[in-house]
Structure 1
Amino acid sequence: MNTTVSSTPCSKSAPAELRALAAVGLPMRRRQIVALAALLVIGTLAGVPKPALADSPQASITQMRLEEADDGIYLTAQVQFELPLGVGEVLDKGIAIYFVVDAELYRERWYWADRKVGSATRHMRLAYQPLSRRWRLNVSSVPIANAGLGVSLNQNFDSLPEALDAIKRVGRLRLADRSEVGDEATQPVQFSFRLDTTQLPRPFQIGVAGQADWNIVVERSARLALEKLK
């Protein structure tokens, strides 16, 4: 009985690990090859940072500070932006707008991608109150809906500029316990701020889709020195 053995040369573009195994003639089943390739892809992607948001021209981050307190690590930031005319017109109609802040703290690892040790999210809802002629700002760690305003912190302001100043000052975001942070002089932090149109009423979400006026977004990755709170 004749037995025919066929082989396919390993491509030069294949990963070095696969080429080495093929060169020594190790018997590999298809599922073994797939598993090895998957591990190689995972190892490669682990060190790839998340795609950065496209910063809008009217938004910027002017300050970021990482602070150490007895009960944890906190991030403070200052954001600058101008409220476009179209957004102001929606507020004047009594429709609330929403802002979202996301922050992540990492611990550096020389042998692998940095490990995320903590994160925090802050949701802010800004609305005009016609009866009182005041501006109300609701702040919560979870998405704010009309039914959930009771779980948020409330502040009232006499003018829109005062309310916006409070939104731009991102104070004391608790990111992690002190024990989660290493002794390095600086710590990797990722911060983002955006006007969130997904929490608008559905008709408004459709109406503002693709409008540049509603593209208020900024993101920064930085290594920040850990400062002790006095």
Structure 2
Amino acid sequence: MSVTSIRVKPWLNTWRGSVFKFWWVFFVFCLGLQSVFAQTPQAEIRRIDPLVQNGQLVMDVDIGLQLSSAMREVLERGVPLAFEIAIEIGEPRWWWFDRKLVQAQLLRRISYNTLTRQWRVSTGDLGMVVPTYEEALDLVRRVRGWVVAPIDRFDLGNAYEGQVRIQLDMTQMSRALQLDAGKRDWQLTSAWRTFSFQLEQEKATEVESNVTTPQTEARS
């Protein structure tokens, strides 16, 4: 009985080896890319909804927010971090510079009690305690009923333009952490997201608004 040998063409082995190397490199690249995104904090303003309540212009804002692992580690050691949500509103004027009507900031502070293992999110003297890290982040991500100005500052029927952003407030951090502020995993500033609105009706009980896509990132 004779045994027939099978010869594999050299180019086929080379091709198989190249394909295997390609997918291996691609797999390692994806793992590295995932690690980079996991280390990099991310923030964006997703929704802006101006409303009129009790004679005041108030804002509802939804924020996309993801902290870096370095930020979370600092929080879990009991060191608080503060996030500043800023809004600017102006009235466009074709014959001169735009008139600035509103410049306001809202500070949300996240802290962790290492003894009780509870998270706290505070705004000024008011605070809320939640059991998990994600729930604490959600309280920063959702801004509801933020009073920014009385409506008598605005004229009926006029068009107004505004912008909102969120950033990590470096001034609230310790000196040691401020030294790390230049590192990628501590750089958290969203792009400004613009919106426009005008007060409707004589009673000024409604606001007609239009939110545009985010602008190029602007850093203060």
TM-score interval, normalised by the smaller of the two chains:
0.5 to 0.7
- Out of 191, 214, 222, the position equivalent to 2:186 is 214
- State how far apart, in whole Å, the 2-side matches of 1:224 and 1:215 are: 31
Residue equivalent to 2:164: 191
Q: Which amino acid aligns with 1:177?
A: P
| Structure ranking higher in strand proportion | 2
Residue equivalent to 1:32: none
User: Unaligned 5+ residue runs, structure 1?
Assistant: 1-55, 141-151
- State how far apart, in whole Å, the 2-side matches of 1:181 and 1:129 are: 43
- Out of 100, 113, 119, the position equivalent to 1:116 is 100
Secondary structure at the aligned position of 1:59 is classed as: strand
**1:74 equivalenced with 2:72 (yes/no):** no
Contact 2:109 2:123 in 1 (8 A): yes
- State how far apart, in whole Å, the 1-side matches of 2:155 and 2:90 are: 10
Stretches (4+) displaced over 6 A: none
Give the superposition deviation at 1:94.
1.0
**1:228 equivalenced with 2:206 (yes/no):** yes
- State how far apart, in whole Å, the 2-side matches of 1:190 and 1:163 are: 25
Residue equivalent to 1:167: 140
- State how far apart, in whole Å, the 1-side matches of 2:88 and 2:140 are: 19
For each residue in 1:124-154, what CA deviation from the matched residue of structure 2 results, as whole angstroms up to 9, or x when unmatched?
21111112110011112xxxxxxxxxxx211
User: Unaligned 5+ residue runs, structure 2?
Assistant: 1-39, 200-204, 208-220
Residue equivalent to 2:121: 137
- State how far apart, in whole Å, the 1-side matches of 2:153 and 2:92 are: 11
Aligned pairs, how many?
162
Contact 2:48 2:60 in 1 (8 A): yes
- State how far apart, in whole Å, the 2-side matches of 1:112 and 1:68 are: 28
Give the superposition deviation at 1:225.
5.4
RMSD: 2.1
Give the superposition deviation at 1:214.
1.4
**1:202 equivalenced with 2:186 (yes/no):** no
- State how far apart, in whole Å, the 2-side matches of 1:64 and 1:137 are: 21
Residue equivalent to 2:29: none
- State how far apart, in whole Å, the 2-side matches of 1:101 and 1:125 are: 11
Secondary structure at the aligned position of 2:143 is classed as: strand
Kindly report which structure 2 residues correspond to 1:141-160, keeping only aligned pairs within 5 A, or say none.
Answer: 152-160=125-133
- State how far apart, in whole Å, the 2-side matches of 1:195 and 1:107 are: 28
- State how far apart, in whole Å, the 1-side matches of 2:153 and 2:193 are: 22
Residue equivalent to 2:45: 61
